[in-house]
Amino acid sequence: MKYQGSCHCGNIKFEVDGEIDGALSCNCSICQRKGSLLSFFSGDQFTLLSSGENVGSYLFNKHVIDHKFCQVCGISPYSEGKDPQGNRSVAVNIRCIENIDLEKIPVTHFNGRDF
């Protein structure tokens, strides 16, 4: 299934093609503050629909996850990294996806604080 999403102001628009059968709630120092609910996709399942202008990038800790955010409204709709095999992976904040019933998505809690 294809889902579309965006930041609050619409500067970052994206589409993911895949199933959202669950989400991860991480308690690491950044995810806890952002309140993200993450669903993971391979890089070829994610398409940035906007130009990418004003998309900020934030790296911290081990510098392996590129946290993307809108430099206009501040919302963080996705992050990029690599899966264990070295392939591009995208963690989408499903709170930024349109027309999705978050109450129906099972959430797994992940202890990223101790990771």
Any idea what DSSP says for residue 41?
Answer: E
Determine the length of the chain.
115
81, 89 contact by CB (below 8 A): yes
Nearest alpha carbon to residue 46 among 6, 8, 90: 90
Tally Cβ neighbours within 10 Å of residue 27: 13
Question: What's the domain range around 58?
Answer: 2-114
Q: What is the CATH number of the domain that holds 88?
A: 2.170.150.70
Model pTM?
A: 0.92
Number of structural domains, the chain?
A: 1
Query: How far is the C-alpha of 109 from the C-alpha of 95, rounded, in Å?
Result: 16
Task: Read off the pLDDT of residues 34-78 as tens digits, 9 standing for 90 and up.
Answer: 999 999 999 999 999 998 889 999 988 777 789 999 999 999 999
